[in-house]
Structure 1
Amino acid sequence: MNSLLPRCTLRPLAPDEGEGYLIEFSDYPGCMADGPTPEAALGEGYDALHSYLETLEALGHPLPDARRHQHLPEVSAEAVGSH
């Protein structure tokens, strides 16, 4: 999954947080998603970001500056750490 995404963090969730993985977009307040695997969380993150930007546009709010994109390498459970 080699794609451009805005700056984000992907981290494992603790058992008391429901386990799985969480992706958050720091330049887009409140935009986050989760999934049972890193790959699933990234996929959900794509969807969440798309919905977030569509909602801002529909409400007439300015879109955040998207200049700080990063190229994400393919993510595997071994690279992030298993839970």
Structure 2
Amino acid sequence: MTAADLARVDVPLPVVAEQAGACAVLRDAMAHTRSPSDQLAYALDAYLVTHPDVPVSTDDDYPAWAADLAARTANQTRRTS
């Protein structure tokens, strides 16, 4: 067996390190919950961390929702201040 040509790796080392750290945090969180929905959420988070090209929606896809969330957040901030 021959060693892999590391020049072909297309993910920069700092990105790999960041992904590894995030996955470790998610694995730890999964290990400390008994909630199936939490475990699923952590597993999906880990998938998204390790697959950054997966298409996900953004605020631009739902402008009314983003504006509503901003308004609710502003109202909560005013009440707690």
Q: Say whether the fold is shared (TM-score over 0.5).
A: no
Query: Larger relative CO (CA 8 A, sep 6+): 1 or 2?
Result: 1
Query: Greater helix share, 1 or 2?
Result: 2
Larger Rg: 2
What TM-score, normalized by structure 2, do the two folds share? 0.29
